[in-house]
Amino acid sequence: MTLGFTYQGSSARIVFGNGASAHAADHIEALGCRRALVLSTPQQAKDGEALAGRLGALCVGTFSGATMHTPVEITERAVAKAAEVKADCVVSLGGGSTTGLGKAIAYRTDITQVVIPTTYAGSEVTPILGQTEGGAKTTLRSPRVLPEVVIYDPELTLGLPVGMSVTSGLNAIAHAAEGLYAEDRNPITSMMAAEGMRALKEALPVIVASPRDAEARAKALYGAWLCGTVLGQVAMALHHKICHTLGGSFDTPHAETHAIMLPHTIGFNAVAVPELLRPVAEIFGGSPGQALYDFAKSIGSPLALSDFGLKESDLDRAAEIATKSPYPNPRPFDRAAIRSLLQSAWQGVRPPH
C-alpha cells in the first residue's frame, strides 16, 4: 500500500477536564472578549443562568430558546438579542441543539464562540450547520461556524439521562464508523475513530449501570470529542444520509435515529469494505453490523424505528428521498436495497452482517 493523504486540523482550542467549565471566564478573556451571551435550551435555562452568574460582569445576557434542528426564526431572535446586548461572544452550554444555535449566529455575524458541550453529539468540532426554515432542513459546511474554544467538562454530563447517554453515545460512534470508510479518510482520522469508538464501547455500559461514574463519564466525553472530530474532518456516507432523510422529512428524533440505523447501515457496507471496518469488528467483537446491534441492545438502546412515529407506509418515500441524489458510498445501492435496510431497522431485527 502506498501512503498518501491530506490532513487539515482545526484551529479550535480544546480544553478537557473535570471542573474545566469553572474557568470559562479565563478563556473568554483570553479571546479578547468582554461581553458574553450565554445560550441554552429552555430545559437547561437554569444551568445557563448559573453559568451567567459565574461569569459575572463578563456576561451581558442569556438566551434560552435553542431547539432541535436550528429553526431560522429562533436564530434571528438570538441574533437580535446579541445585537441588543452588544455581545462580542456567545457561550453555548448544552447539546447539539444549543451548539447549532451558536454556530447559526456565528454564520451570520462571525461572532466568537465558546462551546461547553453536555451531550456526545460532537457538533462543537464540526464546520457543519444544519438549519430548518418552513419545515425544510438544509445543511452547509463553513469554517465560519467553527467555535474558537471548546470546554469539555465531564462533571456537566453526570446528570445526562441514561437513555440520552446511550443514544447520544451511539450517535458519536456512527460518526467514527462512517469515518473509517470515508473517501477522504486519512490515518489520523482513522486512528481517532478507533480510539473514540473504543472509549465509548468501554464507557457506555458503565454509565448504564452507574450513571454518575466520573471515570466512565470522562471516557465517554473524550470518545465523543474524537468521534465528532472525525465527523468534522471527513465526508459521511449512507448512514448519515439516511438519518438526515428520516430526521428532515419524517421528524424522527436525532440521536435515536442514528442509534437505530447504525447496525443496519454499517452491516450493509461491511460486505463491501470488511478491511476498513475491521476496527468496528475488533472493538465490538463480531461482524460489524451484528456486533453493533448486540452492543446497542445490551445497553438498552431503542432498536426499532416503528417506536418513533414512523409508519411502515413511510418507508417507500424514505427510500426514494435517500436515493434521489447520488453521493459516495463504499457499496453501491439502489432504492430496493435501501428500502429493505429501512424495513429491518423499522422492525428492529438483527442485521445479517
| Shortest CB 140 distance to ligand NAD, Å | 10
Site for ligand NAD contains 43 (CB under 6 A): yes
Q: What mask, x for binding ligand NAD by CB under 6 A, covers residues 217 to 246? A: --------------x---------------
The single-letter DSSP state of residue 71 is B
| Shortest CB 137 distance to ligand NAD, Å | 8
| Shortest CB 289 distance to ligand NAD, Å | 22
Pairing mode, strands 128-133 and 136-141: antiparallel
Binding residue (CB under 6 A) for ligand NAD from 15, 36, 114, 160: 160
Q: Which is nearer to ligand NAD, 253 or 348 (CB)?
A: 253
Nearest to 221 by CA among 24, 45, 17: 17
Q: For residues 147 and 17, is the Cβ–Cβ distance under 8 A?
A: no
| Shortest CB 262 distance to ligand NAD, Å | 14
Interaction residues for ligand NAD, span 130-149 (CB under 6 A) = 130
Helices (H) and strands (E) in the chain, counts: 13, 8
Q: For residues 170 and 262, is the Cβ–Cβ distance under 8 A?
A: yes
Site for ligand NAD contains 252 (CB under 6 A): no
Q: Which is nearer to ligand NAD, 24 or 270 (CB)?
A: 24
| Shortest CB 145 distance to ligand NAD, Å | 8
CB-CB neighbours of 183 under 10 Å: 11
Most distant CA atoms of the chain, gap in Å: 59
Alpha-carbon distance 192 to 215, whole Å?
20
List C-alpha distances in Å: 236 to 116, 139, 174, 182, 252. Answer: 25, 13, 10, 6, 19
Alpha-carbon distance 7 to 298, whole Å?
36
Binding residue (CB under 6 A) for ligand NAD from 48, 96, 223, 330: 96
Size of the site for ligand NAD (CB under 6 A): 29
Interaction residues for ligand NAD, span 306-345 (CB under 6 A) = none
3-state secondary structure of 69: coil
What would the 3-class secondary structure string for 98-112 be? Answer: HHHHHHHHHHHHCCE
Nearest to 104 by CA among 81, 86, 78: 78
| Shortest CB 29 distance to ligand NAD, Å | 26
Q: Where do we find the cell 483570553?
A: 30
Q: Which is nearer to ligand NAD, 122 or 179 (CB)?
A: 122
Q: Which is nearer to ligand NAD, 270 or 318 (CB)?
A: 318
Site for ligand NAD contains 126 (CB under 6 A): yes
Binding residue (CB under 6 A) for ligand NAD from 17, 53, 135, 159: 159
Q: Which stretch binds ligand NAD (CB under 6 A): 2-10, 80-88, 159-167, 207-215?
A: 159-167
| Shortest CB 290 distance to ligand NAD, Å | 25
Q: Which is nearer to ligand NAD, 70 or 269 (CB)?
A: 70
Pairing mode, strands 128-133 and 149-152: unpaired
Q: Is 313 exposed, middle or buried (0-12, 13-18, 19+ CB in 10 A)?
A: exposed
Give residue number: closest CB to ligand NAD: 96
Cell numbers placing 176: 467514527
Binding residue (CB under 6 A) for ligand NAD from 114, 121, 194, 310: 121
Binding residue (CB under 6 A) for ligand NAD from 24, 27, 38, 41: 41
Q: Which is nearer to ligand NAD, 47 or 195 (CB)?
A: 47
Contacts of 225 (CB under 8 A, 6+ apart): 14, 16, 122, 125, 150, 152, 196
Residues that bind ligand NAD (CB under 6 A): 41, 43-44, 68-69, 94-98, 100, 118-119, 121-123, 126, 128-130, 156-157, 159-160, 164, 168, 231, 254-255
